[in-house]
A and B are shown apart, each in its own frame.
Chain A
Amino acid sequence: MEDDAPVIYGLEFQARALTAQTAETESIRFLVGTQSLKYDNQIHIVDFDDENNIINKNVLLHQVGEIWHLSASPADKSVLTTCYSKTSDSKVVTCAAIWRMPKELESGNHESPDDSSSNPQTLELLCHLDNTAHGNMACVLWEPMGDGKRLISLADNHLQLWDLQESSSKAVISSSATLEGKGQLKLTSGRWSPHHNCTQVATANDTAIRGWDIRSMSQIYCIENAHGQLVRDLDFNPNKQYYLASCGDDCKVKFWDVRNINEPVKSLEDHSHWVWSVRYNNSHDQLVLTGSSDSRVILSNMVSISSEPFGHLVDEDDLSDQEDNHQDKRKEPLQDSIIATYEEHEDSVYAVEWSSADPWLFASLSYDGRLVINRVPRALKYQILL
């Protein structure tokens, strides 16, 4: 069973920010934000034509500064937020803003990819998330599956909940929480849980993971020393409400049940350097994707702690060419394993994302501006589906 070769797309600039266009469920589309101190930064809208295996891109100028974080509205395809740094008075400040992309681009433009790259269009600024009082923005999180009206920003040691008003042109802080403690606490990343009516958020600062209830803006749990070193990223299991994955500088990926924070449920150590990004597949939560600065992307099959722990039973008379596979499956319980290690990158991989349209497809972005689109191996896909 031949798997399609990965599709590689190169950006001219270095890049760290990657997101899927969350509201888009028809076509496969990723947004990539570049990092350049000297030139106008860009947001590349990368469309992937699954049938023809072709990439179409559109470039939007993002002139305010280099992009550290990107996230797309879950409700409106054209709305996105960026966290960007700008230099003023020989100081670097990181801000966040909400943008709208031009109408004709929001659902992709397959006709004239060449023209659009030469004539980049500009983003329309909807509003700034004013953070002058709170420090550098680390990331902005949209309410999952929400109506695109609420988002959370992490700035230094502050957690702020914003309400968007007047069709996103005005952002008001509705509540906020501050992380207190000795030393300079800095929230590095966060994730908004899709469970519990979207009332919980998890954040990472240094080696700790904290859970917050955004109704009261109070901390509900704290996993001290979740990782030996800095925690880089988090993700919630989309199907199991208490399960959380985290990754960090100790090269480990850990899976937590937040009801019992003393021990991770599972810990993987497959990468040989810091793990920068971890993502659960949106539909099949046994598929976990991780990207690391060892330039590798690893797709793992975490059956034992997924919501489909036993997989699906396969009919005996089904698919004779997969007989071997199935027999193995039937014999022993499914084992957690690495499905594949993708080595198309040559520089540190800082972001990995699943497509919002095709659950079997994902993109990874390395610092040298290389975006690689890959698919889950077909054998595994059928094994999960059938």
Chain B
Amino acid sequence: MSAVTDPDPDCPGSDPARKRRAHGMLKLYYGINEEGKPGEKCDPLDPCDINGARFEPEVYLNKLRKDSSLAELMDQETGMVKQIRSLDSDMQTLVYENYNKFISATDTIRKMKNDFKKMEDEMDCLAANMAAITEFSARISGTLQGQHQQITKLSGVHTLLRKLQFLFELPSRLNQCVAMEAFPQAVTYYTKARSVLHQYQNMPSFQGIQNDCQNIMAQLAQKLREKFSDGVSSSSELSECVELLLRLDEPAEELCDKFLSHAQCRLEEELAGLEAELGAGPHQQTLPTASSSSTDILEFIDKGCNNFVSSLCLVIASYQELFITSVPGMSVSTRLQDGELASRDVPRMASGKLVEFVDGLCGRYFSVVEQRIREEKGVGDNSLLVRALDRFHRRLQAVSKVLPGSGVPARGTEIVVGAARGRVQQYLAGLKSFYLDSLTDVRQALSAPRLPGKEAPSLAEVLGGLSSAVLTQVKSVLAYMHLFTAKDVSFASKAYFKGEFCSQAVREGLVVGFIQFICQSSQQFCESVGERGAPSTPPSLLLLLSRLCLDYESSTISYILTLADEQFLGQDQSPLTPVSVLCAQAREVAQRLLNHYVKLQGLIVSQMLRKSVETRDWINTIEPAMCAMKRVVEDTTAIGVQVGLLYEEGVRKAQSSDSSKRTFSVYSSRQQPRYAPSYTPSLSDALVCRPQRSMDTNLLSNIQKLFSERIDIFSTVEFNKVSVLTGIIKISLKTLLECVRLRSFGRFGLQQIQVDCHYLQLYLWRFVSDENVVHSLLDEIVGSAAHRCLDPAPMEQSVIEVICERG
């Protein structure tokens, strides 16, 4: 213990060291061994530690004496004395402090000892009392027990009796109710008692009551049924009846049937009304005066919707309420009697019946509506029809809301779709007949005898009128069809109207169908060949149709189709006829018509030529004085004028500007190197040295022909005036050639041919695209005539010219 051993007062740690020492002493006093807190270096077991537990005064003293000097010993001694003194004072303070506490504690304990004794006595007293109470209570309950059971029994008997009374009174009450027509009350009473009666039916008295009740209830049910089948009662009354009957456990199936048959009666009445109107409609329409009074389709559909469809909805709703939605409750009540199986099937059975019922009636209704729609044949405005269909469709949606699983709305949509299809057909037919009518008009206009003083309408005007009339008609039909897809129409959102209707029905069926019809009907004119030279179709009609088809090809088709595509934006992916196909078709038809026109006109001219060649006696004919070909030139000119009205001039092969001045000699001399057997020089060859030269001339002509283009007589023509006339002239001249080859000629016969050919040469060149064609054909004619001549003495060129100029 260095602090203790350090007596230096100046040491800063001296004061806390003292405190500690005093503390340590108290510890000792209280027997607390402070371990681990001995002086710093020193061993706790150090016997020299004055504060240690193993302090041995002897050892400490010895050590002290040994180690310390005297002064030190002195200091030690004074220090020790000081410590002892302070320790004593500390001790005194402590004892003083604790003394008061000890005294008060002792007082308290003494007081407690007294109080507990008193309490013990009271507790004893309480226990005794409780025992007494228990004893009494046990005694009381023992005495009261028997009476209590009796009371319970009595009150049970009382309620039973009241029930019995109710039962006994039930028949009379029921009677009363029946008499008062308070059927629901009666049914409520009965249903309350029914189970009890059923349970105790083996007891005679109850059986009596039950029988009575059942009789009454049977009467009641009978009354209800009567009321039910009595047609007069309203539907709310009806449903009440049905509800009551259901609660009376009438068989649900029978009730369903009855209910439905009753409803059917009324609905059929309405249907009959509709049918009567339908039957009356056409009758009235046959009378021209009464036609306006017949109801239009909108009115008709309206009536159908308001009467039939709404009553149907009502019936469905009340039926469902009665038989289908309320059935779970009913099945609970019937479960006791009928068992579960039967009752479980009720909703299914009921809904099955309902569907059948609705389907049957709607079927009839639909057939009526369909019939009515079919009567809408007019090809005019169909907005009424569309509105009627819209209403029809809308109302059927209501049915579908009431009866979700029904096929009725689907059928309704089908009808609408069918009606739309029918309309497309009708419009197509309407367009066709309109077109054919217009054609007939055109035909009449073309073939009508020209009135003097009144200018006949020109072909171009007729064509313009026809095409604009047809176009207007197509447009108006498209507008009518467009109503079907209007936004405010309920069925326009159906897939059919969005897709197939737009693309297949309207575009393909109507528009493309009509265009194809135009093409086909036009083409028919080509096929009905004018037999025996009496053409069934006026040639000008062919020309006009050809131009019409060409116009269609160039603009009208794409215009109409664009119009249709814009109005009917179908979302259908089905393949559509492309414009190009239709255009190609139209062009082909135009081409065929024009070819046919050329053939027909050529035929008319050829017939004339053939007759004139065949009927004339060429051997004994007189010297030519005039030309016989005036008619041909006149007719050709007329045809040229006709064609010129509709087709452009066309390109002519560049020729010398002075073609009209070309004379007969021109095509004998000019043509000579080109075509050897052409008439003048080769004629003399044939006369003089045919046997020797014939091979050469043949060869020469063959070689010439090798280089000149082969002339296709009936060939395809181009869409212009020159080409058309070239075709006609080629046909005519070729006919002349073939006819000439079949005849034999005298001298004047040949000369007549010369004159005729020169005349033709003078006038025909201007019509054709390549005058060489005319030249070579005329050359061949004259050449052939020379070959077929018995006495070939050609006429002088100048004479020919004179004759031709004379006309």
Contacts and interface: CB of A to CB of B under 8 A. Distances in A.
A37 B790 contact: yes
Interface in B302-319: none
Contacts of A228: 529-532, 603
Nearest to B741: A367
A190 interface: no
A39 interface: yes
B698 A272 contact: no
A273 B702 contact: no
B207 interface: no
A364 B462 CA distance: 50
Interface in B724-772: 734, 738, 741, 744, 746
Interface in A364-379: 367-370
A367 B734 CA distance: 14
Contacts of B698: 10, 12, 368-369
Interface stretch (B124-132, B189-197, B562-570, B709-717): B709-717
Interface in A234-268: 250-251
B744 A12 contact: no
A295 interface: yes
Contact of B738 (A87, A207, A274): A274
A69 B331 CA distance: 108
Contact of A272 (B603, B713, B746, B788): B713
A38 B690 CA distance: 9
B79 to A, nearest CB: 141
B620 interface: yes
A85 B790 CA distance: 12
Among A207, A272, A294, A368, chain B packs the most CB atoms within 10 A around the CB of: A272
Interface residues of A, dominant DSSP: loop
A225 interface: yes
Contact of B695 (A10, A251, A367): A10
Interface residues of A, number: 32
Nearest to A347: B705
B531 A225 contact: yes
Given A37-B788, A251-B714, A12 B695 contact: yes
A295 B738 contact: no
Contacts of B575: none
B744 A85 contact: yes
Given A37-B789, A272-B715, A346-B705, A293 B619 contact: no
Contact of A12 (B694, B702, B712, B746): B694
A103 interface: no
B692 to A, nearest CB: 10
B203 interface: no
Interface string A187-205: 0000000000000000000
B721 interface: no
A228 B607 CA distance: 12
Contacts of A282: none
A10 B702 CA distance: 11
A69 to B, nearest CB: 13
Given A10-B699, A228-B603, 7 more contacts: A10-B695, A87-B744, A90-B620, A92-B744, A272-B713, A294-B713, A346-B702
23 contacts: A10-B695, A10-B698, A10-B699, A14-B787, A37-B787, A37-B788, A37-B789, A37-B790, A38-B690, A85-B744, A87-B619, A87-B744, A90-B620, A229-B533, A250-B529, A272-B712, A272-B713, A294-B712, A295-B710, A346-B706, A348-B738, A368-B701, A368-B702
Interface of A: 10, 12-14, 37-39, 85, 87, 90-92, 207, 225, 228-229, 250-251, 272-274, 293-295, 343, 346-348, 367-370
Sort A-B residue pairs by CB-CB distance and give the 4 closest, nearest first: A346-B705, A273-B713, A225-B531, A12-B694
